[in-house]
Structure 1
């Protein structure tokens, strides 16, 4: 337990960053299992102790906790952590979401967008996992594929081979992306160059126009809120929307969802975000929501704007547990609002 509790310290020693544990994959999995078991055991023990104290107050007498009960919660914590790691490391299924868009041009009726986000390519989510995710995304039959940040945990030199399979992502209207906060932790400009060389069309405070004859759909993107902390350009919706065709519906890519209300005020039709990982564990999601303006997982309606916060395709390898909050590859189908 003492060794497992120092997982993040060992991660920093292995790579210079707590965000990139540079151990063999099986070791990263075991660390996540044992560290997760400690965290869950602590929660279970607090619940058990509070229950015991409540029983003592009601009975006005001492209440003993049987040793077998303590062993049971230890076993439960270990089992739950194992299930959580297995859930986190799977190749996620495709989740379908229909979105109604006001004034959607008829040419874009049924238009499909696949979102990947929070891949966290690392020693946990390796090339084989990225290959499987790429194959599943390509098979989803999207018109457009987007990645809403947190591609990696590690430098270009550390992750070059593991991220390489993502270059095979294909969609008729292209593959677009924005940075997440983790790109700013690891040589941001080097990653932007490398991802562009891989075929991603990056949209840092920029937009692209998708055409169907004379009909237009705008895809806009912004940088991450963490950018100013490392001397990079902060997110600017003004820059991203400068020069967009008048009347064209706008799909916004923003890694963090917390400014969605401001985007809604600008007439954004659909905002796609990630970052929260859906809260990872039922109950913990309520805490994560408080740090993200109340947005943590799934669909939110803000006037005529739809915000969708993905649970994420992967997960940070420093705490890779999912319990009741499944990972996802999300396929959006656009329909004209009736």
Structure 2
């Protein structure tokens, strides 16, 4: 489905832009082929280097294709808006509609703008994320946990694109916050432990007073899941799979729970079970749940979760596209939501999938959440 949609986008741009250019047949054919290669580059790269989830081509090539793919998607959107508007105007005034539909200058401006925005979007995708801070009141929070600081990381997507220097910088940013707890809600890596052996060691430097906990995202299952879980644990990261742990401070208790991603059963692994994750928890203690995807928030709330930390959406990548991404995630895509009295925080993520390295209006983030007692 993904490849079909990408192909249709490529054909549309070729039809509405490339074949409207004043060029010879051969030049148009070559440009059309280039457009289609960019449109389907994830599949093409996977045939020669890595997989669609983890392209193992040179970083400069991933960046170049990311710029081109972003520009292609944006140009398709611009052209579609022009064509729809031109069609509507044509019904009102044929001359005006024809001028918009057949005009040659505007598509050139759109193409240049799309390329510039694609380059900007890729540059924002590969930068070290800024820290986003906010306070959150939690019902039933003991006084000992008032002011408790959690650093939330998600969607690191460590890869050939976001490689060791970037990982080192993210770890330094997180540690500089001197948090009480670090929680990572999935999609730490792309690729196998062998291909990422030089990139993941900095995760072992993550440091928080009460430890570092994580859950698996969907990308962990695409390559050597069991090996990755073992690797994370060797790095000092406790992976929660339908289980919880207790953080104690004086007489106060805080439940930290985690569930695996729902693609687990497709890869011979367990799926998310929030009921099992919370079996035996002390009644009255606030529950913080890591669930990679935000879509199950209402069910999680029904089981007694007070705060859910998620990622997966990357904030929608591009402002405007987030409206579409939200439709596939129960309406949740970026930021803080109230779900039947539960707080759901969907982070834009620190990184993203190298197959679509674009961020425009949806910046990456490292999140610091300070817990406050709710009166």
Q: Does 1:169 align with 2:206?
A: yes
In the aligned structure 2, how far is the partner of 1:301 from the partner of 1:211? 26
Residue 195 in structure 1 maps to residue 232 in structure 2: yes
Shift in Å at residue 51 of structure 1?
A: 2.2
The answer to whether residue 218 in structure 2 is matched with residue 184 in structure 1 is no
Deviation per CA, 1:281-334, whole angstroms, max 9, x where unpaired? Answer: 112111111111111111111233100011111010000101111111111010
Length-normalised TM-score, structure 1: 0.97
Q: Which moved more, 1:9-18 or 1:244-253?
A: 9-18
Deviations 1:37-62 (CA, angstroms, capped at 9, x unpaired):
11111111111122222232221336
**Structure 2 CA distance for partners of 1:55 and 1:303, relative to 1, 3 Å:** closer
Distance 1:15 1:193 in 2: 25
Quote the residue 2:188 is aligned against: 151
Match of 2:48, SS state, is: helix
Residue 211 in 1 paired to residue 248 in 2?
Answer: yes
Cα distance, 1:248 vs. partner?
1.0
Q: Is contact 2:126–2:162 with CA below 8 Å preserved after alignment?
A: yes
CA distance in 1, matches of 2:45, 2:178: 38
Gaps of 5+ in 2: 1-34
Partner of 1:74: 111
Tell me how far apart the structure 2 counterparts of residues 103 and 40 of structure 1 sit (CA, whole Å): 47
**Structure 1 residue 89 and structure 2 residue 150: aligned?**
no
Q: Are the counterparts in 2 of residues 102 and 337 from structure 1 also a CA contact under 8 Å?
A: yes
| 1:223-257 CA distance string (max 9 Å, x none) | 11111111111111122111112211111000011
Aligned ranges 1:25-44 → 2 under 5 Å = 25-44=59-78
Q: Is the 8 A contact 1:87 1:326 kept in 2?
A: yes
Q: Give the corresponding residue for 2:363.
A: 326
Q: Measure, in 2, the Cα distance between the counterparts of 1:301 and 1:198.
A: 34
| Superposition CA RMSD, Å | 1.2
Q: Describe the SS at the equivalent of 1:14.
A: coil
Moved more, 322-331 or 14-23: 14-23
Larger radius of gyration: 2
Which whole-Å deviations, capped at 9, do the CAs of 1:170-213 have from their partners, x for residues lacking one? 00101110000000111110100011111101111111111112
- What's the counterpart of residue 316 of structure 1? 353
TM-score with structure 2 length normalisation? 0.88
8 Å Cα contact 1:11/1:19 also seen in 2: no
Are the equivalent residues in 2 in contact too, given 1:264–1:303 (CA < 8 A)? yes
Of the three residues 118, 125, 138, the one matched with 2:162 is 125
Judge conservation of contact 1:130–1:166 (CA < 8 Å) in 2: yes
1:22 pairs, out of 39, 56, 60, with 56
CA distance in 1, matches of 2:307, 2:203: 25
| Structure 1 residue corresponding to 2:44, chosen from 4, 7, 10 | 10
Match for residue 233 of structure 1? Answer: 270
Check conservation: 1:14, 1:21, Cα contact below 8 A: no
Gaps of 5+ in 1: none
Question: Which aligned segments of 4 or more residues in structure 1 are displaced greater than 6 angstroms?
Answer: none
What is the SS of the residue equivalent to 1:223?
coil
What is the aligned partner in structure 1 of residue 341 from structure 2?
304
Residues 50 and 57, structure 2, Cα contact 8 Å, conserved in 1: no
User: Which stretch has the larger CA shift, 12-21 or 302-311?
Assistant: 12-21
Query: In the alignment, which of 98, 104, 116 is matched to residue 63 of structure 1?
Result: 98
Q: Does 1:254 align with 2:254?
A: no
Report the alpha carbon displacement of residue 16 of structure 1 after superposing the two structures with TM.
4.3
Report whether the alignment pairs 1:295 with 2:329: no
Structure with the larger RCO, 1 or 2 (CA within 8 Å, 6+ apart): 1
Question: 2:197 is matched with which residue?
Answer: 160
Contact 1:210–1:219 (CA under 8 A) maintained in structure 2: yes
Indicate the SS of the match to 1:99: strand
Displacement after TM superposition at 1:92 (Å) = 0.7
Give how far 1:97 is off: 2.1
CA–CA distance in structure 2, aligned partners of residues 108 and 159 of structure 1:
37
Where 2:367 maps in the other structure, the secondary structure is strand
Does residue 46 of structure 1 match 2:83?
no
